[in-house]
Structure 1
């Protein structure tokens, strides 16, 4: 009797262990399934959501930005974006605007672009909001941004623009251009910086892939040497300090480019055939028109334009001829509406 009771007890224990093990196995399988499903839906959402990360996922975008709340950009900004859309038809041209409302779908983006009739016909142009607090996350710029007081900054629009270009390049990669740069022909390199003049490195146009270490160094130098009250200290100043430390002071022979490490360092003529003291030449009539064969784009030095000069149809100035060729939709809009703003 006792022996039978022992056998019965052992049998019950075995059954209970088997049941518990089976239940535990099912629970673990369920957990694994849930994890796999959640990961699948996370991937599905990330690949199917519409935003700058989706459009710029290949790292070949042309990036512009507006760091004020302005929603009626002057014609030069529109011309710069249109010219890039023409010169780079197979690459996304993205305009980040601080004043733009949130965009969460393709329909939102299309509605936003309808506000800009000169750009709406270009399928490779996209508009997205510029949210600095999000953009600077996980970068050396975030502690600076959390501490800085924009109301006490002399050049806040400009220093925030300097910071944004570094963070945008770090996050997305591609080619960054100031909104007063008119494109003429494709830039043949993806990784490049450019000289503004013999001893100054430009911050207006540069190209890097996403998470390129040089962009991180720019951000670190921006914060470590911050002097927002000095014009240019946070833009070309950052570039010049970092590049000089890495490569020394480059010497250009004729119009040849040089190398800085493993990236191209462009001759000043690539973007600055007209230097900043001569910026008014863009608004002059030229007897002998330059072909700018040594240039990929032209920087207009808009900060220098305190007089508010703009393109005037019928003036036969250099800027009018450039508008006609490089941004014809913008030119026709101005011609029809007699307005240099939208």
Structure 2
């Protein structure tokens, strides 16, 4: 491998060969073996416009997923802006929690360091809220936060009840059908949006390997998500499907396993680095149109055991009305619309421009009730 992508400056570096130590223990059949935090040292490389800038190696203690863990809730996270994320949260669970046998969660943001371990100071307040709210409404269920950047040494960046597991994109895809086309042949690095597409790929791989439920980090969880059952995806509008929230079971012959296998094979043959949504919602819409034998998302319901949920359950406020989360004038009416929702997607891609969350807004109200520690720790900078 001769290239590295850096989320901090948004460039693919091809200026020098990279020397790295192995990061993960060898996977077992279908790549479902233990995920291991990086236990060696590596030459961290971050791209700058003037060239490559190595960072000091950062060792980490090993932590593993047991092969028998099959998470029910999942959300992958990664590093946005290699070193400038705001440190936040109140506590972190011990690495021993990795060995829990109950089904747990994964949490991915769209920002990843594709190849190298880079410094990271932790979750931003709104991301921490997603993790905390998942823990809060699903007591006793381990929450696993997968990230591609070296975690901060301090244990104060992760909400209590969640466990971070460090992976790299290259090793996470190893022993999957996607490794040859995307990693060895360089299709992922050559993408016009390598970070976004890496996130699309890694969330699929997580569900394909372990099964469970994936959520983006710009959700606020409002109730126990196990009540939604299994094998589903949420439409984000009457005409579109998003891969920001989806559940796929690994039970042999289940609809979730069938769709995960079909999705994996389609990405292997049809990965498209030139279109923004081509490897996520667009592929899933095509696959479900065929599976459901209908030509409109609004007509999709139960498609041979795989359900397409209505937007109201997870995307109660449409994309074009995202400002309602930050308005103090619409709080009562917006909360009324959300009374049946299991989670609220706050559209971080556009809403991150709203630096201030008014105290009486919908978002602040949801945060105080569902992620009080993250909201309080933000000290007015949520």
Normalising by the smaller structure, the TM-score range is: 0.7 to 0.9
Are residue 75 (structure 1) and residue 125 (structure 2) matched? yes
Aligned to 1:133: 170
Q: Which of 1 and 2 has higher RCO (CA within 8 Å, sep 6+)?
A: 1
Determine whether 1:114 maps to 2:155: yes
Distance 1:334 1:209 in 2: 36
Out of 207, 215, 231, the position equivalent to 2:276 is 231
Verify: 1:273 aligned to 2:316, yes or no: yes
Deviation at 1:231, TM superposition (A): 1.4
Q: Is the 8 A contact 1:71 1:99 kept in 2?
A: no
Helix, strand or coil at the partner of 1:197 = coil
Matched, 1:210 2:250: yes
Contact 2:235-2:297 within 8 A present in 1 as well: no
Written as runs of structure 1 = structure 2, the 5 A alignment for 1:247-286 is 247-249=292-294, 252=298, 258-285=301-328, 286=330
**Partner of 2:378: helix, strand, or coil?**
helix
CA drift of 1:218 comes to 1.2
Is 1:87–2:137 an aligned residue pair? Answer: yes
1:13 equivalent in structure 2: none
Contact 2:182 2:188 in 1 (8 A): no
Q: Counterpart in 2 of 1:8? A: none
| Cα offset, 1:300, TM superposition | 1.4
TM-score, normalisation: structure 1: 0.72
Tell me, yes or no, if structure 1 residue 297 matches structure 2 residue 343: yes
How many residues are matched?
274
Contact 2:71–2:213 under 8 Å retained in 1: no
Tell me the TM-score normalised to structure 2 length.
0.65
Q: CA offsets, 1:97-149, max 9 Å, x none?
A: 11036xxxxxxxxx9671415x1x32xx1100122222212322111222226
TM-superposition CA deviations, 1:22-44 (whole Å, max 9, x none): xxxxxxxxxxxxxxxxxxxxxxx
Check the 8 A contact 1:273/1:298 in 2, yes or no.
yes
2:370 aligned residue = 326
1:228–1:251 distance in 2 versus 1, CA, 3 Å: closer
User: Are 2:301 and 2:308, in contact at CA under 8 Å, matched by a contact in 1?
Assistant: yes
Aligned-pair Cα RMSD in Å:
2.7
**In 2 relative to 1, CA 55–328 (structure 1 residues): closer, same or farther, beyond 3 Å?**
farther
Tell me the secondary structure at the aligned position of residue 95 of structure 1: strand
SS of match in other structure, 1:65: coil
Out of 197, 206, 229, the residue aligned to residue 159 of structure 1 is 197
Contact 2:147 2:166 in 1 (8 A): yes
Instruction: Supply the distance in 2 between the matched residues of 1:227 and 1:158 (Cα, whole angstroms).
Output: 12
Q: Per the alignment, in what secondary structure is the counterpart of residue 324 of structure 2?
A: helix
Work out whether residues 61 and 173 of structure 1, in 8 Å CA contact, stay in contact via their aligned partners in 2: no
Q: Give secondary structure in 1 for the equivalent of 2:236.
A: strand
Counterpart residue number, 1:170: 208
Rounded to whole Å, the distance in 1 between the matches of 2:177 and 2:232 is 22
CA contact (8 A) 2:123 2:157 kept: no
Which of the numbers 273, 288, 300 marks the counterpart of 1:243? Answer: 288
- Which structure has more helix as a fraction of its residues? 1
What residue ranges of structure 1 are gaps of 5+ in the alignment? 1-44, 102-110
Match of 1:32 in 2: none
Contact 2:108/2:216 (CA < 8 Å) preserved in 1? yes
The whole-number CA distance in structure 1 between the counterparts of 2:104 and 2:213 is: 6
Q: Using the alignment, how far apart are the partners of 1:157 and 1:138 within structure 2? A: 21
CA deviation after TM superposition for structure 1 residue 54, in Å: 5.5
The answer as to whether partners of 1:97 and 1:129 remain within 8 angstroms in 2 is: yes
Using the TM superposition, give the Cα deviation of residue 210 of structure 1 relative to its aligned residue in structure 2, in angstroms: 3.3
Gaps of 5+ in 2: 1-32, 35-61, 73-102, 252-256
Which of 241, 248, 253 is the matching residue for 1:201?
241
